[in-house]
A and B are shown apart, each in its own frame.
Chain A
Amino acid sequence: MKKIILLYLTLLNIAFAYNYDDVLLKAQASIFPKIMLLDKKVEDKLIRGEIVYTIVYDKYDYNKALEVGGYINETYKGYFHKYKYKINFVDVLELSDKTEASAIYVLNVEKETQKVADIAKKKGVISFSYDIGNLKNGLMFSLVIEKSTVLYLKKENLYNQKVEFVDSLLQIVRFTESDNIKNKVLLNNGSEFDIKYAKTVIDIFYN
């Protein structure tokens, strides 16, 4: 019976869990901490002298969150540059103002993204989104692998007085408009690119 229940749960997880792009996850795990360090006010965000990198996940993606944490530890080995860090895994439903976070990385969360964005804004921390589509809900950064790796930044979400990036970062990011985020992103050469199409391409390419 237990086996049946465990199998049931596993299948349930498989059935309900989001299908993440590992390459993208690895890329984001590698790049987002670095982007956090490009904030000139990163020191203001230290909690007890260390960076708390909070990964917010849906209840079915806990394992993926752990996987991402593993990627980060594997890459940074306990330190973001000179700062010691801690990875905080938080279920999106449990996320509140009291949740400690120097930066928030949100996995694919179908609901509550607005809440995450508001908390991040309130805390004055940078928010990263696995899904570029969540930028429209107020999250700040996302990363897409197209012909090359492209960083997306929601322009409206940049007006946070507690965050100040190095200038050059703003030169390499690609700004998104709220209306376009839904389905398309503006490519570097000015052409539009359908996200869903992109996801399909990525999936085909990597899978």
Chain B
Amino acid sequence: MKRKISSLSTKIVLLIAAVAFLITFVIFVVSVKINKEAFYEIEIEKANLIARTIEPLIALNIYLEMQSNIAQITHQLIENPNILAVKVLKENKIIDEIKSKEYDENIDNSFVVKRSILEPTSKKEIASLVLVYSNKGHKDLVNKYKNLVVVLLFVLSILFILFASYVKYLLSPLKTIALSLKNYSPSQEIEIPFTSQNNEIGLISNALHNMQDKIRQYSKQQQNINKYLEEKVNEKTLELRRQLYIDTLTGLPNRFSLLNDVANITNGALLILNIDDFKEINDFYGHVAGDQILKDFSNKLTDMFCNDFNVAVNRLSGDEFTLLFMQKPSLENFTQIAKKVIFDIEKTLFLYKNSEVGIRVTIGGSYEIKRGLERADIALKSAKKQQKPFLLYDENLNIEEQYKNNMGWVKALKIAIKKSMIVPYFQPIFDNKSNKIISYECLVRLIDENSNVIGPYKFLTVAKKSKLYSKLTKIMVDKSCKFFEHLDYDFSINISIDDILNKDTVAFIKNKIVKYGVEKRVVFEILETEEIGNYKEISNFINEMKELGCKIAIDDFGSGYSNFEYLLQLNIDYIKIDGSLIKNIDKDIHAQIVVETVVSFAKKLHLIVVAEYVHNEEVYEKVKELNIDRSQGFFLCEPQAQI
């Protein structure tokens, strides 16, 4: 779109013309008004002057009683064309009066001047003089003045037109300069006109000329800088690309490089090596040592395969390395290479300062390159779990299915938590002497989207791994305490060592049992199957709970690392014998011996013993026979949503 140019010179001229016209108009109006009044005053003054001049003569003639002379004077006066009439009155009687021929014609445009005639000696009024003076002279004067102003305005207008033309002429070079600059570009030199003029236009032209030089120089500098920056950017890009694919510590190709390589290989194989307990090396010797050992380890691997162009060594992450086979070797050869690596690494001593550090590796392998990295990783995890130095991925391991299953349960758990479908089920515990329900154990259940009731063995392990376990504990504590708030039964809730060590969970538990007023009736069952590492903190928890009135039970006693000495220190109230001992107690003599020992031990400590997993009458009878105080199990009653 073409930009409309408004001429500066036109604006200036129009503005000046407008201001000048305004000023002239104002001056004209004001001056006409002032002058009109002034002219009128002059006319009056003229009339007064005539009266003043003539008055002494008339006065003298009256004084000297030469009244015939008065007529001569008035006659002379009337010859003045502006005087329409003259009247001399003495004692209100006209002693002389004369009127001009124009009197009747101009009487409407006239004014009257009256003056006292004073006696020359006494200055007493002896008569009065009346002049009728015509305005015609005044009007003529005003009209002449107006005509003069109009002429002046016309002359001024002509002058302004000339002035405007001159201003336009003076400023026209600016337009030419602007046109010459229109297509300016730093790379192209243009000829700026009027540089030789010795005025403001010349100054502007010269300034633009100098500016053009500076811009050209600056543009050249910018081009050099851009070129330099481009080179630097290319260098940095290369460096970053190298850093992207090369591990900075070991100099080996990194994970991105491996992924690229794997994508380009169709018939290869992959081994993932993990340095066992490398964290301990880091912790013991420090990270500098750890880094040094990683470098040495990578050198060792590189040396081992320096002559084998079929194998590429990569660093996958901290203590994990890969051996990528570009061409798939025979399965036997593949396995042998893995084992040889393990063997060679084991017998190699890595030196850090004066210390010799021996390391071991675990290897997971995938003989298929398709999804090779995931599969080798799965194989590595399985090898770690099974404490095997090498494991080759086997679809029959069904590990992927397990992962899928676990992820499914995590999702189901999250949904159940969100929808409040984690609920307590209540299994009664019977007193073996009275055969009556004496308390209930609160057991966690998940109600799935199809309203199926799921037991904890399906999701508890997953919950622990996905850090949802403490949430489950809190839900169970809250709902169980609330359920038994107004029921006159003792009830027990399972808590793990992790729960006890979690201060937030402990605070929550305290808050809830106090809130619902169940401190005296709640029993916390601590799972004994888990290794108890910090007895002091557990002891503190137990003491705090017992101060509130709660009771403590050791659950699944006999399944784990039972340590009677510690149990004595923990000040517990109940021992719940593990189901694996009770399950076949009616037949298993060894189980009977162990249980008898535990019961004997508990009795001496005045602890109440509870048998779990009482699933038939024979077992129940045997439990009673062994003097166990209480029983629970499917034979007696299954867990229920309500009691």
Contacts and interface: CB of A to CB of B under 8 A. Distances in A.
Nearest to A167: B56
Given A35-B64, A37-B121, A38-B120, A172 B69 contact: yes
Nearest to A170: B60
Interface in B58-86: 59-61, 63-66, 68-69, 72
B57 A81 contact: no
A34 B60 CA distance: 10
Given A34-B64, A166-B56, A148 B72 contact: yes
B56 A31 contact: no
Contact of A31 (B64, B72, B120, B122): B64
B66 to A, nearest CB: 5
Contacts of B72: 148, 188
B65 A169 contact: no
A73 B121 CA distance: 20
A30 interface: yes
A171 interface: yes
B96 to A, nearest CB: 12
A166 B69 contact: no
Contacts of B68: 147-149
B77 to A, nearest CB: 14
Given A149-B68, A188-B72, A172 B122 contact: no
A191 interface: no
Contacts of B64: 31, 34-35, 149, 151, 172
Nearest to B73: A172
A207 interface: no
A30 B72 CA distance: 21
Interface in A6-20: none
Residue from B60, B61, B63, B121 whose CB has the most chain A CB atoms within 10 Å: B60
A81 B122 contact: yes
Interface in B30-71: 56-57, 59-61, 63-66, 68-69
Chain B: number of interface residues, binned into ranges: 10 to 19
Nearest to B119: A81
Interface string A28-69: 001100110110000000000000000000000000000000
Interface residues on A, range: 10 to 19
B69 A34 contact: no
A166 B120 contact: yes
A168 B69 contact: no
Nearest to B120: A166
A153 to B, nearest CB: 13
Main secondary structure of the interface of A (DSSP, over half): helix
A168 B65 contact: no
Interface in A151-200: 151, 166-169, 171-172, 188
A172 B72 CA distance: 11
* Residue from B56, B64, B66 whose CB has the most chain A CB atoms within 10 Å: B64
Contacts of B121: 34, 37-38, 81
Nearest to B65: A30
A162 B500 CA distance: 148
A34 B61 CA distance: 11
Contact of A168 (B57, B66, B122): B57
A171 B63 CA distance: 14
Contacts of B66: 31, 148-149, 151, 172
Contacts of B60: 38, 166, 168-169, 171-172
A26 to B, nearest CB: 11
Contacts of A149: 64, 66, 68-69
B25 to A, nearest CB: 49
Nearest to A75: B65
Contacts of A31: 64-66
Nearest to B70: A148
Contact of B57 (A35, A37, A172): A172
Contacts of A147: 68
Contacts of A35: 64
B555 to A, nearest CB: 151
Contacts of A172: 57, 60-61, 64, 66, 69
A163 to B, nearest CB: 15
A38 B61 CA distance: 12
Contacts of B61: 172
Nearest to A42: B121
A149 B66 CA distance: 6
A77 to B, nearest CB: 16
A35 B61 CA distance: 11
Nearest to B122: A81
Nearest to B63: A34
Nearest to A32: B64
A34 B66 CA distance: 12
Contacts of A166: 56, 60, 120
A31 B63 CA distance: 9
Contacts of B120: 38, 166, 168-169
A20 B269 CA distance: 179
Nearest to B60: A168
Contact of A171 (B56, B65, B122): B56
A171 B69 contact: no
A37 B68 CA distance: 21
B42 to A, nearest CB: 25
A166 B59 CA distance: 12
A81 B56 CA distance: 18
B88 to A, nearest CB: 15
Contacts of B122: 81
A177 to B, nearest CB: 22
B115 to A, nearest CB: 14
A97 B60 CA distance: 32
Interface in A135-152: 147-149, 151
A169 B57 CA distance: 7
A167 B64 CA distance: 15
Contact of B59 (A81, A168, A188): A168
Contacts of B57: 168, 171-172
A81 to B, nearest CB: 5
A37 B119 CA distance: 11
A201 B536 CA distance: 173
Interface string B208-239: 00000000000000000000000000000000
Nearest to A166: B120
17 contacts: A31-B65, A34-B63, A34-B64, A81-B121, A81-B122, A148-B68, A149-B64, A151-B66, A166-B56, A166-B60, A168-B59, A169-B120, A171-B56, A172-B57, A172-B60, A172-B64, A188-B72
Interface of A: 30-31, 34-35, 37-38, 81, 147-149, 151, 166-169, 171-172, 188
Interface of B: 56-57, 59-61, 63-66, 68-69, 72, 120-122
Given A81-B121, A149-B68, A172-B60, 17 more contacts: A31-B64, A34-B64, A34-B121, A37-B121, A38-B120, A38-B121, A81-B122, A147-B68, A149-B64, A149-B66, A151-B64, A166-B120, A168-B57, A168-B120, A169-B60, A172-B57, A172-B66
CB-CB nearest 10 A-B residue pairs: A168-B56, A148-B68, A149-B66, A168-B60, A37-B121, A31-B64, A166-B120, A148-B69, A172-B60, A81-B121
